A and B are shown apart, each in its own frame.
Chain A
Amino acid sequence: MQSDTHDRPTGTLDETTLVAALKAGDDAAFETLVRTSSHRLLAVARRFARTEEDAQDIVQTAYMNAFRALEKFEGQSQLSTWLHRIVVNTALMKLRSQRTKPEESIETLLPTFKTDGHHAERFRDWSVPADALVQQAETRATVRACIAQLPEAYRSVLLLRDIEERSTRDVADALGLTPAAVKTRLHRARQALSTLLRRRYAADGVTAQDGVTSAGGAASNS
């Protein structure tokens, strides 16, 4: 069973040796672990956290949690995968403790409808195929920036479901929501993200297609 192997940082011990040293309480091994894994973990924490301070806080707490749980690490997964999971769980604990009003302005990013149920907006194709866009680092950065703009209650669900690939049930438990609420939030989060991306790429002129005028228009006359 070959999982996609993350590159191990060069110049470090192999993982089995490292884990053994960690379990033995070897200081140098801990420092190696922290120095080689913290940038990835901080990147993950930053996605969930509201501020840089919170992100660093999450990483620090996550390492503490990891150190404490080390005995239970059985090497079934890679150390990096295990740490990643701990960071996400730590971030969730923090989110839960900070609980914000979930409706925080998502409405303005959702599609609107006329009274007869038709879309109020005429949508335009993004002329650049998503598959091509996915390949570009610049696109990924843009998408991450758009995700960061989502209201927190929605952002966390999108991160957990679409990026961390956790199950609906798992996310519901972690956030203290019903599975139905998780599904609704995910759908709204994707819709809002879609709106942000559409605006972004349309504004860039990437999609500037002739023939279709104005997105916002089509005022309904009854």
Chain B
Amino acid sequence: MTCRELTAFIADYLSGDLPPDSKIEFERHLDVCPNCVTYLDGYQDTVRLGRHACDDDDAPVPDTVPEALIEAVLSARSKPSQA
């Protein structure tokens, strides 16, 4: 397996979807290629950071909603809109 092939398999490897044969080859390549190990680490860090990137959206945030938007929403509802 080359670096190029390994890189293409990363997502499947991490989700456990790689067939056993490929998984063995994948790991065999990692044993001999520190550069791919580093790349894989970076990929996993990226996924982890990505997953938590929006965590703060549940925290109270400063009120950044324009009043005009709120008014528009409220007035749109009061219009007879049943269709």
A residues engaging B (CB < 8 A)?
6-7, 27, 30-31, 34-35, 38-40, 42-44, 47, 56, 59-60, 63-64, 67, 111, 113, 116-119, 122-126, 129-131, 133-134, 137, 139-140, 143-144, 147, 158, 162-163, 183, 186-187, 190-191, 193-194, 197-198
Contact = CB atoms under 8 A, between A and B. Distances in A.
A79 to B, nearest CB: 14
Q: How large is the interface on B (under 10, 10 to 19, 20 to 34, 35 or more residues)?
A: 35 or more
B36 interface: yes
B4 A39 contact: no
23 contacts: A6-B58, A39-B64, A40-B61, A42-B64, A56-B66, A59-B73, A60-B73, A60-B76, A111-B39, A117-B4, A117-B5, A118-B35, A123-B35, A123-B38, A125-B41, A126-B41, A126-B42, A133-B49, A144-B53, A187-B11, A191-B7, A191-B43, A194-B45
A63 B38 CA distance: 45
A44 B38 CA distance: 32
